Structure 1
Amino acid sequence: MVTNDAPITGATIELENLTKRYPGNPNPSVDSVSMEIGAGETVILVGPSGCGKSTTLRMINRLIEPSSGRIRINGEDVTDIDPVKLRRRIGYAIQSSGLFPHLTVAENIAQVPRMIGWGKQRIKDRVEEMLDLVGLDPREFHDRYPRRLSGGQQQRVGVARALAADPPVLLMDEPFGAVDPITRDHLQDELIRLQHELHKTIVFVTHDFDEAIKLGDRIAVLREQSHIAQFDTPEAILTNPADDFVSGFVGAGAALKRLNLTRVRDVGIVDFPAVTVDEPLQDLFDRFRSGGSNEILLLDRRSRPYKWLRRGDLMRARGSLARAGALVSHTVSADATLRDALEAVLTDNGGRVAITGRRGEYVGVVDMETLLNSVHELLEADRLTALEHREELAELQESQQHQRSALEGGPGGGAADGAGGEHP
């Protein structure tokens, strides 16, 4: 993820020979895993079903007790401390949110702060702060029960609850696996934005390699028993997988997968003529006449993209914008990836997509030309990287050939002894 100047509030995590054995099973479920995770880093554990990635994650907060090995958080060995106290210091988000159905949204978020002794006013302020942080209006969601929330809203509340006590570490076990693909993309973007602001240490389990590329600073590709096949940056894994096992996870289209490494906010977001629904029709006509654009973006009363308006649409409006223009069907956030933006542009016939901020407010537009230029740059970078690798391989092979020739022709070598040596 791209970082900013916000302070890092995460903690280092060290796993040392972490192992889990279950009675009756001759082989360990997790076998001697060692890993160092930096403060403020997002590390993704990805691997086949049953490889032990969730078990490894849950040993960090000791929901599963290790059979052997050590866990250090900010240098402190937490293997032998009270596991309940440890879990209150570590945020935990799971699939399907795990909210208590009989508690309101506010009561769910307040659970850990209340258990560790925060005062009522501090808890109240924190609940409102966390709802705002995850993009939910406190006035609207404070007193709702989980059953009155969509799947995506429940997951947002789950993340808010996990972060409520301001833990340095956040563990996430396939938290977005039970929602639809569109909601999942939005939740991923939200997590990217949150991490951009908070810089927690996040350990995230998924079976989806595309999700791993999109979210991770580094990815640990795990074999059976959580043996690490490769632990590296997404870019390094995409361009230079360690072996066939890792290549199988990368799959086809590595160059296109690299579109998940660049955020929309890092490319050319441009201004686009925009007006609100309250603006008189005559002012819209004037905007079209004075500007060079044939299209204007209509915003709702909360400054969110609402409709794309063309000149001809106003002629058919007959005094009301309700009948004019085409509804904005797709938007992406500034923290979305170029792949998300490209998919949205290709789905829309206009060759552009509106970019939104944390509350869905309009911030600009990215067009097809900008996205295609970025794709071409990535493909060219891949071509140059592949060329460099071929040159390095050729140099290595040439060096090895020279070494073999020297050994065969040098003192004590077989060729010299057999061909030119005198027999006693």
Structure 2
Amino acid sequence: MAEPSHGAAIELENLTKRYPGSAQPSVDNVNMEIKAGETVVLVGPSGCGKSTTLKMINRLIEPSGGRIRIDGEDVTDIDPVRLRRKVGYAIQSCGLFPHMTVAQNIALVPRMTGWPKARIRDRVEEMLDLVGLDPGEFRDRYPRRLSGGQQQRVGVARALAADPPVLLMDEPFGAVDPITRDHLQDELIRLQHELRKTIVFVTHDFDEAIKLADRIVVLRERSHIAQFDTPEAILTSPADDFVSGFVGAGAALKRLNLTRVRDVGITGYPTVSVDDPLQVVVNKLRSSGTNEILLLDRRGRPYKWLRRGDLMRAKGSLARAGTPVHDTVTRDATLRDALEAVLTDNTGRVAVTGRHGEFTGVVDMQTLLNSVHALLDADRLEALEAQTGLEEAQEPRTSAELEGA
């Protein structure tokens, strides 16, 4: 596998977009520096200019004024087609060409760039595996035969196929259901750990911004920057009331989006396979010391939770026994995702899965509650220290202190 390129720094200097006939510019004099390899998320009210700002980076929308530099190169005046081949782009509803197969969609930019056929073929396989899709199963499918989540994965694979240093994403997960959206977000976090591209991501969902971003840009109208900082800094120290409005209530609980499942205790759990004879399953449950066991499908993915009573009623078959696993999380999921999954499955734990959905362990409710309490305690301590510091600063100084000053 070829070593992926890393990200490139992006500089926006006095970037402006004014449409003919408009009294005000849509984007007004934006200055921003994005570090190589970081994920920056633009968030703001509808119509504030965040998507326009994003599209000016690869000149899908031409700027009216200002400069764009990528890795030090001023791209404002170079051929926009050549620029777009160097910048990956993923959008809502993925934008796949319906008359092309998955492989043809992914191969589009490498083919236009002039890559050899063998290299393109290898790259398609590599990209499908990277986004968690089996090349043998998905390579020759057409987009209409894919679920919404699978289409979005292919869209990301296509955006990354030519190994660009920069990836622009315009609300790419906005059109899928909440569970699929959580898993796609986790997948993007995992990919970023591996690839370290520079990602500029637009969303209207502040919780999504907290989950994905190294830094968040909160935009006012005309893309004026209200605050550009880390998610934790924005949650704990919003710049003004406008930013506080985006944070909303429950900032402490929103910090659950800053901690990943991989950072807490993932433990093993007794499992059996759908191919195991019933007596093997019964014996495994008896020897496990638990009242429940996890049944895996033929690919090693979580399938059902089996309790002792389920096995007594199985009558020689597991087909109708047990409770289906409704939700799982990956190691890159947030504690908030895990907590929601535990409450949805109502088993007191959630199964953690790998890239292809295979079972890797569980996180239980007690572990999650301990993490929530730790976050709340940290917030209380921080608030107490801040209040103590304020009171000390306001205390009247003695004569001796004043003389010493």
TM surpasses 0.5? yes
Measure the CA separation in 1 of the matches of 2:282 and 2:105. 50
Matched-pair identity in % = 82
Q: Tell me whether 378-387 or 366-375 shows the greater mean CA deviation.
A: 378-387
User: Does structure 2 retain, via aligned residues, the 8 Å contact 1:8–1:40?
Assistant: no
CA distance in 1, matches of 2:181, 2:187: 10
Residue pairs, 1:13-412, within 5 angstroms: 13-397=10-394
Match of 1:414 in 2: none
2: CA distance between counterparts of 1:74 and 1:318?
66
Distance 1:386 1:252 in 2: 16
> How far apart, CA to CA, are the structure 1 residues paired with 2:77 and 2:392?
52
Secondary structure at the aligned position of 1:252 is classed as coil
Contact 2:5 2:164 in 1 (8 A): no
Give 1:396 shift.
Answer: 4.6
Partner of 2:8: 11
Residues 292-351 of structure 1 deviation map (CA, whole Å, 9 limit, x = unaligned): 112111111100001111222222211111122111111111111100110111122211
Residue 52 to residue 396, structure 1, CA distance change in 2 (3 Å):
farther
Matched residues in 1 for 2:24 and 2:394: separation? 40
Q: 2: distance between equivalents of 1:236 and 1:7?
A: 31
**Compared CA separation, residues 398 and 232, structure 1 to 2 (3 A):** farther
Q: Which amino acid in the other structure matches residue 236 of structure 1? A: A
CA distance in 1, matches of 2:394, 2:44: 33
Backbone CA RMSD of aligned residues:
1.8
**Structure 1 residues not aligned, in runs of 5+:** 1-5, 407-424
Distance in 2 (CA, whole Å) between partners of 1:8 and 1:104 is 26
Deviation at 1:233, TM superposition (A): 0.6
Residue 289 of structure 1 deviates from its aligned partner by: 2.8
For 1:346 and 1:72, the matched residues in 2 are separated by: 47
TM-superposed CA distance for 1:273, in Å, is 0.4
Distance in 1 of aligned mates of 2:30 and 2:283: 67
User: What are the Cα deviations for residues 137-173 of structure 1, in whole angstroms up to 9, with x where unaligned?
Assistant: 1111111111121111111111110000000000000
CA contact under 8 A between 2:98 and 2:143: conserved in structure 1?
yes
- In the TM superposition, what is the alpha-carbon distance from 1:252 to its structure 2 partner? 0.7
Gaps of 5+ in 2: none
> Structure 1, residues 246-305: CA drift from partner, whole Å, max 9, x if none?
000000111111111111111100000011112222222222332211211111110000
> Deviation digits for residues 343-392 of structure 1, max 9, x if unmatched?
11112221111111110000000000000000001111111222232234
* Deviation per residue, 1:21-69 (Å, 9 max, x gap): 1121222111111111111100000000111101110111011111111
The answer (yes or no) to whether the contact 1:10–1:169 under 8 Å persists in 2 is yes
Is the partner of 2:202 in helix, strand or coil? strand
Aligned residues: 399
Larger Rg: 1 or 2?
A: 1
Q: Secondary structure of the equivalent of 1:177?
A: coil
Shift of 1:9: 1.0
Q: Scaled by the length of structure 2, what TM-score is found?
A: 0.95
Query: How many Å separate the matches in 1 of 2:393 and 2:198?
Result: 39
The one-letter amino acid paired with 1:364 is G
**Larger deviation, residues 382-391 vs 86-95:** 382-391
Contact 1:88 1:116 in 2 (8 A): yes
